[in-house]
Structure 1
Amino acid sequence: MFVRYLGFVLLVWFPERLHAQSAVHSCDAPILDDGYLVQKQITYPHEANLMYGCDNGRKPAVEGWWATITCQNGTWSHKPQCIDEKDCIPPDIPNAKYKKSPKGWYDNNQSIYITCDKEYESKNRDATAICSNGTWTSVPVCEKSIETCGEPPKIPHAVIIHQEYQELFAADSEVQYECEDGYTVEGGGTKDNITCIFGNWTEGSACRARPGPVNGGSAGGGTGGRPTTSTGSGTQQTVEVKNCGQQPVVSNGDIVGDDSMFLRYQCAAWYKRVGPERVRCYSNGMWSAVPVCKATFCSVDTDAYRALLSVGVKHFKDGETGKLRCVDQDHWLTDHYSVVRCTDGRMELSRCCGFGELLFC
């Protein structure tokens, strides 16, 4: 008898409990100054839509001359507000950031300064928008930077690791790749890095099949390889490159071509080779002189200079002259720049000058 009574109580109590958990709240009518509500009532049920408009000389603080809000479990989707029709709502500028107004809108004649995302730069160096009589004038455009790289190049027998797929990479981005089983990069490891430098990826080491045992270097015409040429002293002969074992690593350079008698080195973009292009293996197991890849650009970290507008690291080619925007402590100086000169890898920055003074900085 007790069990049947208890079952009856549970059947009565559970539906009420479930109903209480799933109950939603209605919304009270919002307060709107300088405007009017359409179909005004005291309360509005969950998911009800309410339209509103503004008096003459005013407009909603959202896109359009009328707006709609929705009741979402006791809260309106946004607070209805009417602002001066000469004020501006926040602009939509793809791939950019700017300081948000605490009010939610911007006064007439107010300006904003935008900063493009790392992979982008402002078109024509225009980074300022001005609110003028309710619309934004000269809205900046963030376009793909010439320093940005596309997806990393395909490396045979390797995959990019610890990196979600993306189409664009900012300058100085570095990704790591790993060779598949049975393959190694120069030096015997299985991993290497490539870097985005001014729109181009540096060349990574190729993944090559892991070699089996090879003979050591030998003199004369031994089994280690066939002699081809001799050095000026006549005491050393060059043999097949496999006789010297591990190949020399050149920073910012890579081995190109496929020749059994020499290694040919090529430097990455923005680097130039200093020294011999070809490296040979001597019969005593030693390599001939190895080239060096020398940088032909300068880097400027704008975050390290208080006078410069922070735009990250910028690169300038050797012999190139450019300019970087300056900023003071109180407000943006939209027409003041520092002239940058890159000479033989050395960087020089001038004082901040007005646009008309750049030739004399």
Structure 2
Amino acid sequence: QTMLKCNLSLPPTRGTSYTPADRNLFLPDERVTVTCASGFWNSISRRTENTMTCKEDGKWSPSTTDCERITCGDPRDPLVSSPYYWQRGQLRGTQRYNCRTGFKTTNPRGVATCTSDGSWTPEPLCEEITCDKPDILNAVIKDPKTRYKINDLLTYECKMNYELLDSTTRPTATCTTNGWTKTLGCKEIEGACINPTVMNGFIVQSNERNVDPRNSKIYSSCNVGFKPSTGGWWGEATCTEGTWSGILECIDQSQCGRISVIPNTRKVPHSEVYKNEQTVTIDCKVGYTSETKTIKCKDGEWQTPLPACRPQGVPCDPPPKVENAIVKILYKNKYREGFEVNYECRKSFEIEGHKKLTCENGSWTTPPPTCKQYCGKPEGAGRRMEIPDQVLERYENGNQIDYTCINPHKGPGGTATCKNGEWHMPVECNASCPDPPPITNGDFTKEKRDVEGVITEVSYQCSRQFTLSFTGSIRCLDGKWPSPPKCLRPCEISTFDAEYNLQNLPKKDYTAHGEKKTLHCKEGYYHKLKRYSLWNIEEIEMKCDDGELQYGEHMPICNYRYS
């Protein structure tokens, strides 16, 4: 019987090599190693090296071992939006894609790449959109979770003595495709008070809801064996601008509390507690006198009668008027014996003489003061201007000082004169301006210069196809330039492939920033936002945004045909 041989076609197909390489006839059981070049593989085994064996019937096993270019099919990923429209990709080829609602592309640019193992990377192509638990300023999240899904709503509340930064907003946030919706958080309530404590007593908080902590009140009382130093058996405290007033002090029953107000006294002790048998001296104000000079604490009570300070002496008329001055008292027709007034001058005036006068026997002691106008230290001394003489804090009208300007402030200097409380200078020392700031892909055009030729104002223009972020000029102020405009990039529109099935494409290769274009599907083609959408779209609007084309929610591909 004739032994059948296996035939091997030479030369091998592109990307394929055989070992041994110089034979084309093989006996049964002989083997040939098939090796694939870079970028090729066996599409059945998905390997780059395979072995085939000659069988007794003269046929090779396996029968198909030649190498083909490595390609990637559609991803068959349930999270990818419309994966069945993917083109079969070659090695290192790319494919733009979107994910289903609630998921985002693992690649930030939304581009998948065909790899050497025939799969698309990144793996996975889509990941669920989630939000981490946010850190909300001065707030506590209700029922917090470590991770939130898309459209999850969280509610938060401000910490004690804090309020919403914006009272018109709600204390909620929603997890979206772009992260959390904006949450401003909470700010400290100005004027709110922290909870106080009462030694040897207790506090009962108000049960009223929605009470403004800036005007809140608390009530307190003392424990058994103690009493309030202010008398009675309970007390009310009020919060005003962050401070409690009226906080109860509880003292022993055998002690005496605060001395009741005795009109027209001075140097009255302000203690809240006095020991049993303690004696306190009371002094009346000048112009007043009392028959009783002391009071005594006896078994928790002040002995009566209390001292009473009654007027003595002759009252005075209102204090004399002083030009450019005031006295901080209530105006009355008469002022009692011993009453004191203090004069204060207006700004840029200095008091000369005795500023305090006292009423004695119907007249004011000492002549009233006068207010003399002056100039303060020149603004910018040591910074914008140099003064060779010693710099004083005050100068009289008519005083003069010589000065020179300090670099980079310009001006020859001169002599300044104090007039009516203000400095008059023949030349101001102003800062010199540096060169205008440069911009990328542009330059400044129109310019203004000062008398010394220094540029003080410029306008900008961009290179061809670039667009200014704002128009107009910028001006140098006090030696500093504000931020210049930016040149925003154009968008390349020559990248639309024939497979997009578009017509009437713009003839130029670029479109400027901010420019909108309406793309049209070729006749017989249309586009859908979603596969099962009822609406057919034949026009797609795009917009250029600083070098990036914006299409909204879809790519401009007309991949449907009318039947």
Q: Normalised by the size of structure 2, how large is the TM-score?
A: 0.24
Larger Rg: 2
Q: TM-score w.r.t. structure 1 length?
A: 0.35
**Which has the higher relative contact order, 1 or 2, with Cα contacts under 8 A spaced 6 or more apart?**
1
Whose helix fraction is larger, Structure 1's or Structure 2's? 1
